[in-house]
Structure formats: structure tokens, C-alpha cells
Structure 1
């Protein structure tokens, strides 16, 4: 026994492959023994808490790595000193929300890193700030004024409201009762009036004044099973129908699913065919009032099957829409706000899309590594899907091409998307850092090409001038479906340092560029045609390269 050191869900034991007496245990603290477990001392005491992973380098006993809620840490001297590798996108996001500012902001709840906010237009780390502490939990944005008022939370129901314009903050937690809150307890803003807020414990609470006070609109609607070391039989998710005020659904961690058609006057049990599985998400449809979706999880009982249900009669009957989804835990389901029957799900291994209301599913993994996805939200104005990964931070997927994936496109042999006009620069290829011309196309934007092909295989992409002559071509291997190619505009590599500089003898030599011979050569400004050939089919489109400075 290690005293009162909490192991919790991340408690594990590692033994060094170099010395069986060197033992490392993880939990809230990282502890090390060098005498076979008789005594332990804390190691990595300057690192973030809540340790999950450890690795001994099999070729170097002093080189070890630690993964915790703060990211990746490394030691080169057996644990005496640790270095934080804080240049990796390894945030453990559990919840996600967006506002309607320009540019819009992304709000994310992170495991043991609070609630973060950042602009969707910025890249890695840039512009992100903390607006709440603890283990980031539920997030809801008041739509007024683009989203000045935001509700955030940390673990077990510590909800608060923040007016970002005035910096006023107040508790948004239901008070004065013995309440059980889930680790991530839900809080939602009514789409019918933003002053109305719903909060879930083992009861459903409603506020009519922006979470400054609540009224219970239900009794305990869970199964009220005995609790363990953390609260159980709690409401895990809430959803109000955008089509009818007071039509509200609640899903619980003990499998209970309830519905009220009248704002809480009566609650009806509508549990799914898996009445004891953890409800990870309940979603009322924005398209059809009787339609509701429910995702459930069984991994806590070592059941990694996919559970996903759809009801078209207010939950009276349920139909599985797992379809061809793989056997992996489903964490979230969302409707597309612009296209009916388009659904997105986030699982423990990625993101999937259905174009037919859940009959068939396809992956949306292009560019997204295998990672647990705990939440999804669509920013409707920008038509982007924001993905909360519980391992690799936040990702944004533009949905324009998803919306264009119609039956008509699927039957098309080959299609090239319109090409964006580009501006040529005289400084293309110049290496400012080195103070000379480059031999490559560094710092030169490529021509971005998007095309669809019904046939996979070897593909040729050509750029032709106004006379139809081929200026440059590239070979790629196309996949069936969407394909994306970056076409370099470099024609001839540069030869830096090869120019022979001599004293000019004539006026013509004096005005001639002495470095002309060592510069890289790029496409000249002009009108071009881009042609794609794959599987015996050819298509093309016009493209313009204008002359800049």
C-alpha cells in the first residue's frame, strides 16, 4: 500500500527492463521505488499531475518518458530532472462549443486543464486562453451578441457563468440540495429563449434567469442505484427539441432515458433496448419533432460494442442505426444543421458520417489520426465541423465537400473543382534567412487541386499554356472519392552561388540581372488549363496566374 496516494483510474505499475528493483507507479502522483517496492519516493514532482503512461528506453536506462494530463515529459538522467515537451498537440478535450463572433471562437473543456478558448482561424497554440480551471466539463454559449455570455464547468457540477464583455462571473450550480452530479454534468441553453437554462444532476433543474437561480422540474429520474467512490445514477446529457419548447430529453449514466413533452409536468421512461448502458449522448432532432437519437457506451463493463439508436416516435420505440460502424465505443452524435439525414458520430477511434439518416456510415478520417473523439459541434455560419479529440486536441473540418457528396457526384466519373486564381511574386524562391536564391520551391505556395474520381489508380495532372502546350505535369495515385494535390509551380531548380559576377562593359550588361542564372524558374504569369487524366477519363479547368510585385 502506498499510503493515501490516489491511484484512481490511471493507476498502473511499470518495471524497468534494466533493473527489476526499479518500479514506477502512476496515479495523481508519479512514484518510484529502487528497492523492489519496499519504499517509494515521488519523481517528476515538477511535472503535471495525473500520470497515465510511462516508458523505459530499452537501450538507455537513464532515458525515460512520462505521459500525464499535462502532456509529454522526458528525462535523460533516470528521473532526477524532467523536461516538458510542450510542442505536441495532445490536449485531452472532453467537450466543445463555438460562438458566433467573427472569427468565431472555439471553447473546449480539457481533462485537468480547465476550459480553454481560442479563435478558429489561429493555428497551433496561438491565441488560446484559459477561462476556467479544474477538469473542463460542460460548455454552453448564449447566442446573444455573438456569444459574450458563456457557461462553463469543472468536474461534478461546478458550473459557472462568465460574461466575457464585463468579466462578471457567477455560480450556475443548483444549490441547497443533496445532489449527485456526473463528472461531466450537462448544462444547456434553451434555443427558444436564451435566458432559460437547463441543468442535470439526478434531477432536471430549470433557470429562467441565466442560471442565477433554479427550479426543479423533475424528481430523481435515474435508477438511483448504489454509489461507489464517485457519484453514479446521474444525468449525463440533456437535449431540448428546437421545434417545441418544453420537449426535453434526459439520458443517465445508469442507462435511464426520460422524456417530458410539457416542460417537466410529466416524465416518461423511454429507455432503449440496452436499459443499463451508460448514455453518452441524447439528441433531439432539429428536422423532425418526433425524432431523437441516443448513443450509449459499455466500455466500463469491458463491452466495446457500438450502441446507437434512433426513434421517430418520441422514444416509444428505438431502432439501431449502428449499421456498418465498427465495434467501438460511440461518444457523440450530431445532426448536420444544413442537410437533413446527414449525421456525424464521434467514437473512440475517430469520426464517421452518414448521408442517409444512419443506414450506412463512412469515415471522415482524412488527415485525422486514430484518436478518441468525445464531442462534435457544427459552426453553421462557417459550415465547419469542430472535433474534440481526447488525445490530439481540437480539429476543424470544412463541410463544403461533405455537403457536395450527393448521389449525383457519386455517379460522376471525374470532376475537377474550380481553381483559385494566384498572384505571382518576383521574390518566389528567395531564401531570406540565407540571403540567397533557393534551389527549391520553399516559401512558394502550390496550386491547390481538388478532384473527384470514381476510379482509383495512376493519375496524371498537367498544366497547359494558352496554346495547349504542356508546361508541367505530375504523377499521383488517386483514391476513389475526393483527392487533394499540391502542384508545385517550380520549373527549374535554382543553382545558388553559381553566378559569375564580372564588371559590366556595356550599358546592356549593367542593367542585366547578374543572378539570373542561379535563380529558380517558376511558371510565368498567364492563362492556363489544368487537366486531370485517370482511368481513361479526362477533365480540365481554367486557371489564371497574375503578375504581382
Structure 2
């Protein structure tokens, strides 16, 4: 719900650096006004442009040549008013020229009297224009498709394809071999899928990714029982099933019941989808009620009534007032209210279902949807707080986790909750998460129940003690909204969908299962690691289209270790690797850095010394080891004087599963 204006909206001017303000409205609409975009001509500061949304048809584009003392209406153009964009930019080089960014790019060369659409061959939904201060023909534009550049004042545009800027709402991964696939829904870029790594030594190419859905992408799932079937969802509940072999795409959204619009079905901007782990072909889909299909979406049955509070936003106050239907921008471009926003089914108990809604209602069914328990409120949680995620524990069938976000009411506190009795009672495990880091997603490790990950407004955090203390995950991931998290269990990888910087993967986080105070207080500690597959990478191949090639994960065994801060400045640490017979294989030199660190053994032996009088070639390296068991120990010294710390760890070198 939203309101875009009212009696207090207007243009105000200060001539004393903001100490006092006066309303300037001579010539502006006398009715209630909404969003107002302003632009000042840098060459003539007395000239101000204003794009005004107002009640009825009174809005338009206005011009003042006397710093706002009076205004002239140049046209009825007021942009698309899509809330989060719609700014105007005064061209610093061309007189009387103004640009407006909205769904398309609009330009006026006569002070706003007439407008023309620019750049038909570029992505829509524009957000920013930057002008080159010295070259009038050189400009940049940022939109939902990324970054564009022109050298001819907008006649033609170059698209930068090497910037990872996708805004992912949801992310998922499958169990494909040899490497799993990642699939996610992105703002205005549909649903896209690609490999977590490739056999190509050059890395993951742009052309390795492919689109499986259109529109604004959201929920995406590979069918675990049929690897060539993908479910993709776009805005307002549009759901499709795609066969990757044949290209056949079928729309499978439930049609809902007959009757008025409320009962035919309400669908969220991001309607939750779930593939059941208990029965092939069974999927659940949430609108205002929950639907189940046992034949991959060909047929649906409702398994609940309305699982929301069924609020009528027309009757709810905004800024202390219930507005009439023709108020400025009332609920303009907003999603349907009182809808299910998240759902999960226990992987341990068939039919144990959880749902959460945008109006703060949590519901539980223990019998596949025949009966539901409605939880009106959770102690300590603000009323009607949006439920952003629910995660049924993969370790204990009675435990469930949930995240909430109250940003719509100006409350940016994080909320992470846990229930130990299937949602009937809750404890707050937000702990010491930063205060202004609203929470979006939560997942639990499948091997260590107290290891949790949370996606927040400003990055990813983890806890090893069930939520008493949280630590920010860094290691290269930017401080950005981590909208969705997924754990790929076979590889122990954490897949993160960010809203603005694409997908990030934390490779083999399993070391975090073993973090405790005793191990961190010693001089050094080497943590257990996953098996290391050995395989031959293909010769380097350049991208077949586009400019982007992302690096593959490191080849070999990734070893995670900790060095105490008091020890890091002392004698250099190494990791000694031996084979099953105890013979030396390789010594890895470690940097003098404290804290949790990583180093990769590339599964090669130490380089053999050359006979006297011979010369080595470029890029000499040892031979690959065979499959089998190896031992790694962190410590100090050479082979004869080596002193180890902590526990030696086993490295299993295994064939790549295909």
C-alpha cells in the first residue's frame, strides 16, 4: 500500500541553507500534488524544471525562469511515476534540453513542451544519467539491463556486458554432475541458469548461461526427479514449466476459484513455490491460499483456505488517514496485499507445512494442509511484520526458523526467530546482528544444527552457536542486499543471490562447522575439508559471445585454517602434505596473516629438482597426484624439523563424478 502525495506536497525553497523554508506555488496546480522531480540548469541557476504528478489531470511539466517565483506549464507530460525512478536531468551542454528516465528514456529539446522517446534498442527501466563534463556527446545510463554508454548524444548505445549487476530475488541450485547448476530470478531479466563451474580453464562464460523464463524473474527450481525440467516464475504468480530438451513451455499457474476477484486468487509479486522432497511430481504454490499439484502442475487442488489476514488496503490508514479512491497515486504500481510470501515443508516429516504472509501471519499444518494452526502474533515482533522467509530444520523435525522484515513501516531492525515446537512458540535469535540490517533469508547447515546463515540488507552473516553471536561473511562478497540463500549439500557450498551484484558462491563452508573458542585460541588450526575431485581441465576457450568470463572455483583441495593473531608475526607457517605412506608430497607456504584464511593445493607434487647443468622451462610444476588419501598438517619448520599444531586433516582425492 502506498500514497504518492497529499495536501502537504509541494515545492519549497530555502535561501538560508535550510534554516527556513517557503512554499513556492505560483502557477503550480492548486490541487493535491504527488511526486515532484526537480532539475536546475547549471548554466542558468534561475531556471528550474519541475515534473509534477497531481490529482486528476492537473499535473504536467513546469518551468520557472526566476528561481521558482512563478511557474509556467509547458505540457501535460508528467512521466510514468513508477515510484522509485522518474527523475529529470537537465542537459549541461544543450540549451533547453531535459531528459527524463522512466520505463523508456524521454528527451525534450524545447523546455519540456514536447517529448520524444530515445534509445529503442536498449533495456528499459532507467535509473541514472551521467553526462561527460567535457564531451557533450558522451553519456552513460544505468538501468535494469546494466550500464550503457553513448558517444553520439544518444543515437546509438554500447552495452557493457562484463559487469555482474543482476538483481536476484531468488536463487536455487540442483544436484547435476559433474557440476551443479544455479538458477535464479532477476529483476526485469527473467529467470536465468548456469553452471557453478566448468571444465573450461578460462572459466564460466556468458554463453554458459541461458534463460528459462521471462518478465521479472523470481522462484526457480530444477525438478529433482527430472533434470531437464525447470520451473520458472515471473511477477504476480505467472508460473511455467520448461523442458530443456524440447523447449516446450507450459503455463501452470492455478486458475483459482470462481467468484469475485478476491476469491479467484491473489498473487504476490514474488509468489512462493516449493518442490516437495517426499513425492515425485508434487509441488506447492502460494497465493492467498496454498495449492498442491501431484502431477508437476498439470492439475491443482487448494489445500487451505485464506492463509492471510485478508486485509483490505482501501480501509487501512496511511499517515494516519484513510484516503479516498482518487487520491494521488493511491496504491499505484504496488503488489496485491494479503498474500503468502514464503512457504516450506519439512524434509523430515511429509505434510508438515509452514507459510508466512506479507501481513505478518504465520500458519502451520501437520497433515498436508487438511488442518491449519493460525499464529496471530509472535511476542516481541511488531504487528503485521512481513514474513520474508521460513526454513524447516533439516536436523530436527520440531524446529523451524523464520526471518521478518518491517521496512515498510520504517523499521529496519533484523528479525531472526526459531521455534522448537513446530511454530507454536518462538525465541528471538537475532543476537548481535547490526541494527539496521533487515533480514531476508535464513538457512541451516545439514550437518551442524547450530550453524546458520542469514541474508541481510547489507551482506551475509553466520552463527555457529544457534544465534547468540553472528559474524559477517566477507572473502570477496560485497556489502549488498543478500536476498536469497541456498545450500548445495553435495559440495557444502553456500549460494547467495544478491540484489544488484549477481550470484556469489562460498565454496566448501564446512570448516565453519568446527569453529569453536578452543580451536581459535591455539597457535594454529587446520579444519576438515570436503573431498577434492581430480580431473583435467580443457584448453582455454574464449567466450563465444559477450565480454564476461567469471573465474572457476579453485582447482584442487581448498584448505581452511586459522592462525592466532599473536602468532602471525612469528616464524612462517606452512601446511605439510604427505601420502598414505607418510612420504612428503608438498609443502604449502602460508602468508603471515591471522584469522581464518584459505589456501588451495592444486593436487600436484612438489617440483622435482633438475639435474645439474639443465635448465627448466616456463611454468614448471609437479605432476598430479593419484586418487587416494593424503594428510595435511599445519605447523612450522622444514620436513626434518616440522612441528605441527592442532589435528592433521585427511584430504580425499577422488575421481570427478559425472
**Number of the residue aligned with 1:10:** 84
Unaligned runs of 5+ in 1: 424-444, 465-471, 492-511, 543-549
Which one of 361, 368, 383 corresponds to residue 275 of structure 1? 383
Preserved contact between residue 490 and residue 522 of structure 1 (Cα < 8 Å): no
**In the aligned structure 1, how far is the partner of 2:498 from the partner of 2:176?**
23
Which one of 317, 331, 336 corresponds to residue 440 of structure 2? 331
Measured after TM superposition, the shift of residue 330 of structure 1 is 1.1
Which one of 151, 157, 160 corresponds to residue 240 of structure 2? 160
Which one of 208, 228, 233 corresponds to residue 148 of structure 1? 228
**Number of the residue aligned with 1:262:** 367
Preserved contact between residue 573 and residue 636 of structure 2 (Cα < 8 Å): yes
**In the aligned structure 1, how far is the partner of 2:290 from the partner of 2:106?**
42
- Indicate whether 1:390 and 2:499 are aligned: yes
**In the aligned structure 2, how far is the partner of 1:473 from the partner of 1:293?**
41
Cα 1:190–1:453, aligned 2, differ >3 Å: closer, same or farther? Answer: same
Cα 1:283–1:31, aligned 2, differ >3 Å: closer, same or farther? Answer: same
Deviations 1:118-172 (A, max 9, x none): 1111324241111111111112333214x33322111111111223345443322
**Number of the residue aligned with 2:395:** 287
Which one of 197, 209, 220 corresponds to residue 128 of structure 1? 209
Partner SS state of residue 139, structure 1: strand
**Number of the residue aligned with 2:15:** none
Preserved contact between residue 114 and residue 136 of structure 1 (Cα < 8 Å): yes
**Number of the residue aligned with 2:510:** 400
**In the aligned structure 1, how far is the partner of 2:238 from the partner of 2:170?**
15
Partner SS state of residue 410, structure 1: helix
Measured after TM superposition, the shift of residue 369 of structure 1 is 1.4
**Number of the residue aligned with 2:309:** 223
- Indicate whether 1:316 and 2:316 are aligned: no
Measured after TM superposition, the shift of residue 294 of structure 1 is 1.6
Measured after TM superposition, the shift of residue 524 of structure 1 is 8.8
Cα 1:289–1:461, aligned 2, differ >3 Å: closer, same or farther? Answer: closer
Partner SS state of residue 337, structure 1: coil
- Indicate whether 1:303 and 2:384 are aligned: no
Deviations 1:483-506 (A, max 9, x none): 54899x999xxxxxxxxxxxxxxx
Preserved contact between residue 247 and residue 263 of structure 1 (Cα < 8 Å): yes
Compare 51-60 and 315-324 and name the one that shifted more.
51-60
Preserved contact between residue 96 and residue 108 of structure 1 (Cα < 8 Å): yes
Which one of 42, 49, 64 corresponds to residue 124 of structure 2? 49
Deviations 1:394-422 (A, max 9, x none): 1111223333434443233213579999x
- Indicate whether 1:351 and 2:460 are aligned: yes
**Number of the residue aligned with 1:411:** 521
- Indicate whether 1:239 and 2:344 are aligned: yes
Runs of 4+ in structure 1 deviating by more than 6 angstroms, as ranges, are: 417-421, 445-449, 472-475, 519-531
Matches within 5 A, 1:209-220: 209-220=295-306
**In the aligned structure 1, how far is the partner of 2:211 from the partner of 2:88?**
34
**In the aligned structure 2, how far is the partner of 1:418 from the partner of 1:203?**
45
Measured after TM superposition, the shift of residue 202 of structure 1 is 0.7
Measured after TM superposition, the shift of residue 458 of structure 1 is 3.7
Preserved contact between residue 79 and residue 86 of structure 2 (Cα < 8 Å): no
**In the aligned structure 2, how far is the partner of 1:355 from the partner of 1:413?**
21
**Number of the residue aligned with 1:105:** 181
Preserved contact between residue 16 and residue 56 of structure 1 (Cα < 8 Å): no
Which one of 272, 294, 315 corresponds to residue 186 of structure 1? 272
Deviations 1:222-243 (A, max 9, x none): 1222353431111111111222
Deviations 1:463-510 (A, max 9, x none): 99xxxxxxx9989551323254899x999xxxxxxxxxxxxxxxxxxx
Which one of 481, 506, 526 corresponds to residue 596 of structure 2? 481
**In the aligned structure 1, how far is the partner of 2:399 from the partner of 2:633?**
48
Measured after TM superposition, the shift of residue 345 of structure 1 is 0.9
Give TM-score scaled by structure 2 length.
0.66
Which one of 198, 210, 230 corresponds to residue 284 of structure 2? 198
Measured after TM superposition, the shift of residue 86 of structure 1 is 0.7
Measured after TM superposition, the shift of residue 49 of structure 1 is 0.7
Compare 289-298 and 373-382 and name the one that shifted more.
289-298
Partner SS state of residue 401, structure 1: helix
Preserved contact between residue 186 and residue 236 of structure 1 (Cα < 8 Å): yes
Which one of 359, 362, 370 corresponds to residue 479 of structure 2? 370
Compare 305-314 and 15-24 and name the one that shifted more.
15-24
Cα 1:194–1:360, aligned 2, differ >3 Å: closer, same or farther? Answer: farther
Bigger relative CO (Cα 8 Å, ≥ 6 apart): 2
Which one of 97, 104, 113 corresponds to residue 29 of structure 1? 104
Preserved contact between residue 89 and residue 124 of structure 1 (Cα < 8 Å): no
Matches within 5 A, 1:31-110: 31-102=106-177, 103-110=179-186
Compare 20-29 and 77-86 and name the one that shifted more.
20-29
Deviations 1:198-224 (A, max 9, x none): 111111111122211111122222122
**Number of the residue aligned with 1:253:** 358
**In the aligned structure 1, how far is the partner of 2:623 from the partner of 2:285?**
60
Preserved contact between residue 278 and residue 296 of structure 1 (Cα < 8 Å): yes
Cα 1:412–1:179, aligned 2, differ >3 Å: closer, same or farther? Answer: same
Unaligned runs of 5+ in 2: 1-59, 61-75, 199-203, 258-263, 314-330, 535-554, 577-586, 608-612, 626-631, 650-658
Preserved contact between residue 15 and residue 21 of structure 1 (Cα < 8 Å): no
**In the aligned structure 1, how far is the partner of 2:254 from the partner of 2:623?**
65
Cα 1:204–1:479, aligned 2, differ >3 Å: closer, same or farther? Answer: same
Preserved contact between residue 153 and residue 159 of structure 1 (Cα < 8 Å): yes
Deviations 1:431-463 (A, max 9, x none): xxxxxxxxxxxxxx9998754112165464679
**In the aligned structure 2, how far is the partner of 1:282 from the partner of 1:219?**
20
Partner SS state of residue 389, structure 2: strand
